[in-house]
Amino acid sequence: REFEAAERALVHCQDYAGIQFAKRVQKLDSAQLQQAEVLAHLGDFEGAEQAYLAMDRRDLAVDLRARLGDWFRVVALLQGGAGAGDDALLKRAWDAIGDYYAERRRPAKALQAYEQTGNARGLAEAYYALEDYTGLERLAASLPEGSQELRQVGDMLATVGMADGAVVAYTRLGDVAAAVRACTELQQWAAAVALAEQHRLPEVERLLARYADHLLKAGRTI
């Protein structure tokens, strides 16, 4: 009867979203669940969560927090009562927490979150922001071959002059030309020539000529 009265009031106020909510809640077969849904609708999210948990409906509490974007609470709820099928949501939550910290320029905290999921993009950006280039090199060596994130890692390592790490990233990506280019840009001519010869790239002769010119200018020979 209370729902019927509420529905009449909502009709009078022309609150059509509220009318649909009232109709939906009326169909629920549990008074406790109805109460929890009303609390959530009214913005009492703490009360709604506690009501869900009191009914042993952690899944509904998790769903509520996920809809609110409260990923810290999602993690706490999932880890406090993990169930089958939660892995994807837990990963999504940790990645969102990593993004939260990254956007606020707190890379150390972002790194901790991304480590929970192995988010390669997030890890690369966090390592780079922390100037942890050894971490970037480890990431380059650990990512699956062909992973597109290897290009990002290679670019970062090349930018800070770490040719060896960049070569690892680009070659594991399958882009030997990028590895050779990084070596030439960083004046690592011997490495560039060795790579080109090893992979039989057509620019070997051109690289040898540039390498020879570089050595001559330095007063050395091949």
Residue bearing tokens 């810290």: 72
Q: How many residues in total does the chain contain?
A: 222
pLDDT digits (tens, 9 = 90+) for 39-54: 888 899 999 999 999 9
Question: What pLDDT does residue 220 have?
Answer: 58
Among all chains, which residue has been given the structure tokens 């050595």?
Answer: 215
pLDDT of 11 above 60: no
Mean pLDDT value of segment 159-170: 97
Nearest alpha-carbon partner for 170 in 186, 155, 187, 159:
155
Phi, psi of 161 (to 5 degrees): 80, 15
**What are the tens digits of pLDDT across the range 59-89?**
999 999 999 999 999 999 998 874 545 889 9
Do the beta carbons of residue 110 and residue 126 sit within 8 Å? yes
- Band (12; pLDDT cuts 50, 70, 90): very low
What pLDDT digit, counting tens, does each position of 177-216 carry? Answer: 899 989 988 989 888 888 888 888 777 667 767 766 666 5
What is the crossing angle of helices 133-142 and 163-173, to 10°?
20
Mean pLDDT, rounded, for 86-95: 93
Q: Is this model's pTM higher than 0.75 or not? A: yes
Please tell me the least confidently modeled range out of 87-91, 127-131, 135-139, 217-221: 217-221
CB-based contacts of 89, cutoff 8 Å, min separation 6: 62, 66, 74, 78
Q: How many of the other CB atoms lie within 10 Å of CB of 187?
A: 12
- The amino acid at 87: D
